Chain A
Amino acid sequence: MGNIEFEKIKRPENIKLPHMLDFYPLEDEKSTRISQFFKNLKEGRLTTTKCKECGNLLWPPRIICSGCLSDKLEWVDLGVEGELYAFTEMKAGPPLGFVQDVPFCIGMIKIGGLLISARIDDARYEDLKIREKVKLKIVELEDGRVFYRFRRIG
């Protein structure tokens, strides 16, 4: 009875950020059929898909139209300036991967006929106003992927 073995075991101290905790979408052609969106973004253009059959503007970008189920879609520019519809600031309770950024602002932005959510950089909650104009900004991750944010114009 006295010879039960006790052994301390080790697990890796650091684990690479797993894909399932990476909020940013995969954007290359091997991963998605809307990689054009990210190519356009790399050129400073915020775009989405529009249905050539019924004219529906679709967001997020799609491969079929949810209005008429056509797969004949085209890429259209949304412009680079939007208007703040609503905003708030993440002050407490951030998710993993956002902790280092707190506090930061998040908004709903009217742009090109859409209402999209996005981070608002270089601003505090107290500075912002409903209907304020904001401008597109592109952020690039370490691995070259890109995503859109907005910033104040003033």
Chain B
Amino acid sequence: MKKVAIIGGGATKCGKREATWRELVQEAGKAMFDNVDNISPKDVEALLVGAAQPERFVFQVHVAPMVAEHLGITPTKVIATTELMCASGQAAIRYAWACIASGMADVAVALGVEKMFMPDMAEAQTNMTCVLDREWDGVNAMSAPPFFAMTAQRHMHEFGTTKEQMALVSVKNHHYSTMNPIAQFQKEVTVEKVLQSLMISPPLNLFDCSGITDGAAGVFLVPAEDAKKYTDTPMYIIGSGQASIGNAVNNLASITEWVPLKLAVKEALRTAKISVNDIDIAELHDCFTISELMEYEAFGWCAKGKGGKFIEDGEPYIGGKIAVNPRGGLLGCGHPLGATAILQSIDILQQFRGEVSRGRRVKGAEIAVAHNLSGAANVHSLMVYSRG
């Protein structure tokens, strides 16, 4: 297997955008090509498009050829859309990586996109109800907020986690997103503000939930041996892990412990030949505040059930035990499903290059992980990136 590098990328501003799906693709595509010298659309041999629900949000399928058409790409090796709901963008990165690592292609693009704002937001919410098993869980209105609300309720019940501790995740990630110019949310929040925000699905308030977001982003992948032809500062894929257990609520390994994440972490560390203490930046999937607390636990940065205490002690801040979501996370940046993992990877690349603003820069960072969960947290996907 060849070592693979990410040599650059570009993204749109995220949020409620006055732009269509295909315009988001064009904005991200232009930003992506503008970011790397010596590469043109005609060089791209493999195109993987991460898109979770274009058939629902914009009533369009067969979207990878549309992306290719709008960016002047004419793939000769691989073209496909990748769907893994909230991890669709990471699926695109993973398959683009496999295309390069296997020697099948020499230049691959992973581009993620989601247009989630619709004229009637109840329709957008409907789309989120076919993510879990639609006939047996979705039918009960089990979209993401109720599922994660019950996860939070059980975590509070079993481990004494508090709403204030959960709110601290939102406070931290909104703090970092104020320094991220493409983030959806640019304002600080306080614990009080989180607790007073609209109750969505108790115990989750609005600011415990990541947003509905429009956005797109793309990156280039090439063999590591070619990377310096394009940039002095590539980043490398050094490991990965991905695990899935069950799907319907009855068949999950556990509600309060994400066993597939523990497996994915173990595999990611094994393949990258690192220990968890070698990680300098963790871009974790904070779709809800409770998620990030459970992720501290699954990575082993703190004991099971102690995620709340971990953030109370300031440990997931820059300068603490591990810098978690210095990008601003999904809570601060928004969560344009298919684009999220690509946005994470671009921000990590910019961290390695020292291009992010000082207030959220992780100095001397060498190794980063990017994590996405999807569905009923039954699937966890992890990439490990390194600067050198």
Binding site for B on A (CB under 8 A): 21, 23-25, 59-60, 85-99, 104, 106-108, 114-119, 125, 130, 147
Contact = CB atoms under 8 A, between A and B. Distances in A.
Nearest to A119: B140
Interface stretch (B124-132, B223-231, B342-350): B124-132
B201 A116 contact: no
Contacts of A104: 141
Interface residues of B, number: 40
Interface of B: 120-123, 125-126, 128-129, 133-143, 145-146, 149-151, 153-154, 157, 198-204, 206, 248-251, 255
Contact of B249 (A24, A89, A97, A117): A117
B119 to A, nearest CB: 13
A101 to B, nearest CB: 8
B250 A95 contact: no
17 contacts: A23-B139, A24-B135, A60-B133, A60-B135, A88-B153, A88-B201, A92-B200, A93-B200, A96-B123, A96-B126, A106-B146, A108-B249, A115-B250, A116-B250, A117-B136, A117-B137, A117-B140
B122 A86 contact: no
B195 to A, nearest CB: 15
Contacts of A59: 136, 248, 250-251
Contact of A87 (B126, B150, B151, B249): B150
Contacts of B140: 106, 117-119
Contacts of B150: 86-88, 106-108
B250 A96 contact: no
B25 to A, nearest CB: 25
Given A89-B201, A94-B122, A108-B150, A25 B129 contact: no
A116 B249 contact: yes
Given A60-B135, A117-B137, 10 more contacts: A59-B136, A60-B250, A88-B146, A88-B203, A90-B145, A90-B146, A93-B201, A96-B123, A106-B150, A114-B250
A147 B135 CA distance: 10
A4 to B, nearest CB: 26
B202 A91 contact: yes
Given A86-B150, A92-B200, A95-B143, A116 B125 contact: no
Given A86-B255, A116-B250, A117-B249, A23 B125 contact: no
Given A25-B139, A60-B135, A115-B250, A88 B202 contact: yes
A89 B201 CA distance: 5
A92 B202 contact: no
Contacts of B248: 59-60
A66 B365 CA distance: 44
Residue among A59, A86, A98, A114 having the largest count of chain B Cβ atoms under 10 Å: A86
A119 B248 CA distance: 15
Given A95-B125, A117-B140, A130-B157, A23 B201 contact: no
Nearest to B198: A92
B294 to A, nearest CB: 15
Nearest to A115: B250
A93 B121 CA distance: 8
Contact of B153 (A87, A95, A116, A147): A87
Contacts of B204: 88
A104 B202 CA distance: 12
Contacts of A96: 120, 122-123, 125-126
Nearest to B209: A93
Nearest to A60: B136
Nearest to A22: B139
A99 B137 CA distance: 17
